[in-house]
Chains A and B, each alone.
Chain A
Amino acid sequence: MHPNMSFEQAPPISVPYRFFLTAPLFGIAAGLLLALTGADALGSRWTGEALALTHLMVAGFMLQAMCGALLQFIPVAAGGNIWRPSLVAGVVHPALIVGVVLLVSGFLAVPGSAFVAGAGLIVAALSGYVAVVGFALFRAPVQSATIVALRVAVLALVVTYGLGFTLAQGLRGSYGVSLIEVTHVHAAWGLGGWSLLLLSGVSYYVVPMFQLTPPYPVWLGRLLPWGLLAVLLVWATQLLRPASEAYSWVLLAGLLLAGTFAAVTLRLQARRRRRVPDVTLTFFRGGMASLLAIVAAGIAVALAPTFAGSQRGALLIGMLALVGLFVSVITGMLYKIVPFLNWLHLQRLGGLTVLPPNMKQMIPERAMVGQMRLHFAALAALLVAVAWPPLTSVAGLLFAASCAWLEWNLLSGVRVYLDFRDRIRAADACHAP
């Protein structure tokens, strides 16, 4: 599973960057909302505030970063041809923003027509996105573990937003659906299917390439997508039959698969060939440690009914998954992807006459390390706040601040790109006949 990279079909740099720069803004909104609502938000995962916070993170922060990354990743890593990426990004990106804002507003107020309109806008945007990305993925010339994982991930995204739309109708009382079971299946397909499989597929590619580790074992690339798909399909049968103890074992199987991915990743990182400090590596390790903690907490949920009934247990797992795992890993990847894309695009513009700045000059190392420390401090505060609610507002402010710093760091990378691009253009103009 050693990576090869094609750059012939890469989209314009604005395509991924518009998504990447939007993602932290939703994180800031989530942190501020948590700070404003305080302990009430974490009283239960079913409060309107908790649902709003969850969707600011998953449909705001995570979905923006993931949609942008896939539009860049599929052509470059898989050779897949994305149909008119600028047009797709130009439609999907604003539609997702408006859709998520309407959805979250609906959670915070009474779910009304704007709430369903928001859900509908997200479904419409993602349907168009999935059509384009899915077509590129299924026609991709490269057949690798990454592609298999991404294909199943995109399928899981369809199930996730389909069930999400059903839930939105159900919350308005339009359908007689069992909201709790549909929510369980919706969350599992979104986090365990779409998010985790996308993360694994991209990891097979970027971890060996940027962290200089041995390649992921071939068996993991085969086991994870099909194993998780099987688990998610069995998990979904609770929509058709009464819940039973057997579903605890299904949850356990899914958690063990996820834990295997985390353990293999940590093992590969321990065997990396170049042992130098690296922000992305630390973010990844924090993410994988969070995933192992989720597995441990999930096993407790599966085996101990008293813990399963505990709202605090569910909130703890939610914090570990959204902030500990996904925000950590996404941030770590952004700190590698943005400087790398800057370099490649500037190199393409400048040719051999104007060499781009060094990768390390794109985003200052000290700023990335500082933001990383703040992020992990915010994560620790959020986890403590689950057990000790008076800390909730402070934890929210810390998280908002870490996302604001991430945004600033990404913008500084973009400024370097724009400055150097303008210098190349000025040099070209001087040499024009």
Chain B
Amino acid sequence: MSSQRVIDGRDMQPPEPLELTLAALDTLPPDGEIVLLLYCQPHPLYQILRRNGYAWTESMQADGTTEIHIRKA
């Protein structure tokens, strides 16, 4: 069964959500997933993920939250 870790960065000052996400990537199991919740699209994070072999999907919720699912590619 895959593990999922949720990081709610909506009430955090940048770059705190990025810091937590990068720390979580370090311990992400091969079948694990990180779910990041933000009120913006974190393009700097996407560049980091792209360069380091991670895949992600994003969806916009009705309240304006961007939900990002991150896995190993």
**A contacts, CB < 8 Å to B:** 2-8, 208-210, 212, 273-274, 340, 343-344, 347, 351-352, 355, 358-359
- A7 nearest in chain B by CB position: B44
B40: chain A residues at CB < 8 Å are 2-5, 209
B1-60 residues with Cβ-Cβ distance < 8 A to A are 10-16, 18-19, 22-23, 25-26, 39-44, 47-48, 51-52
> B43, A6: Cβ atoms under 8 Å?
yes
Counting chain B residues whose Cβ lies within 8 A of the other chain, the interface size class is 20 to 34
> What is the CB-to-nearest-CB distance from A106 to chain B, in angstroms, rounded to a whole number?
43
> A340, B23: Cβ atoms under 8 Å?
no
> A7, B47: Cβ atoms under 8 Å?
yes
> B23, A352: Cβ atoms under 8 Å?
no
> B22, A210: Cβ atoms under 8 Å?
no
- A278 nearest in chain B by CB position: B13
Subset of 27 A-B contacts with CB under 8 Å: A2-B40, A4-B40, A4-B41, A5-B41, A7-B43, A7-B44, A208-B39, A209-B14, A212-B11, A274-B12, A340-B14, A340-B15, A343-B15, A344-B44, A347-B15, A347-B18, A347-B48, A351-B48, A351-B52, A352-B25, A352-B26, A352-B52, A355-B19, A355-B22, A358-B19, A359-B13, A359-B19
> B48, A352: Cβ atoms under 8 Å?
yes
A355: chain B residues at CB < 8 Å are 19, 22-23
Q: How many pairs of residues, A versus B, come closer than 8 Å at their CB atoms?
A: 57
> What is the CB-to-nearest-CB distance from B49 to chain A, in angstroms, rounded to a whole number?
10
B10: chain A residues at CB < 8 Å are 273
B11: chain A residues at CB < 8 Å are 212, 273-274
A208: chain B residues at CB < 8 Å are 39
A6: chain B residues at CB < 8 Å are 43
A3-B40, A273-B10 known, 12 other contacts, Cβ within 8 Å: A2-B39, A2-B40, A4-B43, A5-B43, A5-B44, A7-B43, A209-B14, A340-B15, A344-B15, A352-B22, A359-B16, A359-B19
A347: chain B residues at CB < 8 Å are 15, 18, 22, 44, 48
What separation, in Å, do the CA atoms of A58 and B28 have in the docked complex?
51
B43: chain A residues at CB < 8 Å are 4-8
> B19, A210: Cβ atoms under 8 Å?
no
> A5, B15: Cβ atoms under 8 Å?
no
What separation, in Å, do the CA atoms of A274 and B16 have in the docked complex?
13
What separation, in Å, do the CA atoms of A2 and B18 have in the docked complex?
17
> B14, A351: Cβ atoms under 8 Å?
no
B23: chain A residues at CB < 8 Å are 355
> A351, B51: Cβ atoms under 8 Å?
yes
Q: Which of B12, B13, B43, B51 has the most CB of A within 10 A?
A: B13
Other-chain residue from B13, B39, B48, B52 in contact with A274 (beta carbon distance below 8 A): B13
> B52, A212: Cβ atoms under 8 Å?
no
B41: chain A residues at CB < 8 Å are 4-5
> What is the CB-to-nearest-CB distance from B26 to chain A, in angstroms, rounded to a whole number?
7
What separation, in Å, do the CA atoms of A358 and B39 have in the docked complex?
22
> B25, A212: Cβ atoms under 8 Å?
no
> A359, B22: Cβ atoms under 8 Å?
no
> What is the CB-to-nearest-CB distance from B62 to chain A, in angstroms, rounded to a whole number?
14
A359: chain B residues at CB < 8 Å are 13, 15-16, 19
What separation, in Å, do the CA atoms of A344 and B48 have in the docked complex?
11
> What is the CB-to-nearest-CB distance from A431 to chain B, in angstroms, rounded to a whole number?
16
- A210 nearest in chain B by CB position: B13
B15: chain A residues at CB < 8 Å are 340, 343-344, 347, 359
> What is the CB-to-nearest-CB distance from A412 to chain B, in angstroms, rounded to a whole number?
19
> What is the CB-to-nearest-CB distance from B58 to chain A, in angstroms, rounded to a whole number?
11
> What is the CB-to-nearest-CB distance from B34 to chain A, in angstroms, rounded to a whole number?
13
> What is the CB-to-nearest-CB distance from B21 to chain A, in angstroms, rounded to a whole number?
11
What separation, in Å, do the CA atoms of A208 and B13 have in the docked complex?
10
> B25, A210: Cβ atoms under 8 Å?
no
What separation, in Å, do the CA atoms of A343 and B18 have in the docked complex?
10
> What is the CB-to-nearest-CB distance from B20 to chain A, in angstroms, rounded to a whole number?
11
Q: Which of A212, A351, A352 has the most CB of B within 10 A?
A: A352
A8: chain B residues at CB < 8 Å are 43, 47
What separation, in Å, do the CA atoms of A344 and B15 have in the docked complex?
8
What separation, in Å, do the CA atoms of A170 and B44 have in the docked complex?
50
A352: chain B residues at CB < 8 Å are 22, 25-26, 48, 52
The 5 A-B pairs with the shortest beta carbon distances in the complex, nearest first, are: A7-B44, A6-B43, A4-B41, A273-B11, A274-B11
B48: chain A residues at CB < 8 Å are 347, 351-352
What separation, in Å, do the CA atoms of A209 and B13 have in the docked complex?
7
> B47, A212: Cβ atoms under 8 Å?
no
What separation, in Å, do the CA atoms of A336 and B39 have in the docked complex?
19
